[in-house]
Amino acid sequence: MNEYRWADLAIGMRREFAVVVTPASVDAFAALTGDTNPLHLDSESARAAGFRERLVHGMLTASYYSTLVGIHLPGRYALLHSLNVEFALPVYPGDTLTVSGAIVFLSEAIQMAEIDAEIRNGERARVSKAKIRVGIRER
């Protein structure tokens, strides 16, 4: 876990990490949230709807933006204020995702960073993008 403090941050700082979305994580997300739509849990239903396999919940993939902020950039002293996500492509169980973000704006007056972030699949296609606002706590 990174522990960047306000004085450590700079426009252009960038971090990324990779994650494999497992079928078990999709099932656990469905159980946790109650979103048991068959598109997420049943391959036949997903194929009947025109997808190659059951779909990963969009909000499960978006949760990796929280990981980006809380673990990687800025890390321990971050407090996520807002997240604006646009989904572009479906994600399937077994996909390897690369989550990346870069600081594009800093407000010293309120110690807030704005991060442009995206998630790409194993084929490097962008599956979502996000604008994230993060407060920086000093303790």
For residue 138, what pLDDT is reported?
Answer: 80
| Residues 77-107: b if buried by 16+ CB within 10 A, e if exposed | bbeeeebebeeeebbbbebebbbbbbbeebe
Average pLDDT over residues 8-31: 97
User: How many angstroms separate the CA atoms of 50 and 28, rounded?
Assistant: 24
Residue position matching structure tokens 């902020």? 69
pTM: 0.94
Helices 58-67/23-33 angle, 10° precision: 100
User: Helix, strand or coil for residue 83?
Assistant: strand
SS3 of 57-71: the string is CHHHHHHHHHHHHHH
For residue 113, what pLDDT is reported?
Answer: 98
Give the residue from 16, 118, 120, 119 showing the smallest Cα distance to 73: 16
State the pLDDT confidence band at 139, using cuts at 50, 70 and 90. confident
Give the residue from 42, 21, 28 showing the smallest Cα distance to 121: 21
Kindly tell me if the per-residue pLDDT of 31 is higher than 90: yes
pLDDT in tens, 75-88: 999 999 999 999 99
How would you class 51 by CB atoms within 10 Å of its CB: exposed for 0-12, middle for 13-18, buried for 19 or more? middle
Domain 10-136: which topology? Thiol Ester Dehydrase; Chain A (3.10.129)
Share of residues in the chain with pLDDT > 90 (%): 98
Q: How is the chain split into domains, by residue range?
A: 10-136
Beta strand residue intervals within the chain, DSSP E: 14-20, 78-87, 96-107, 112-120, 126-136
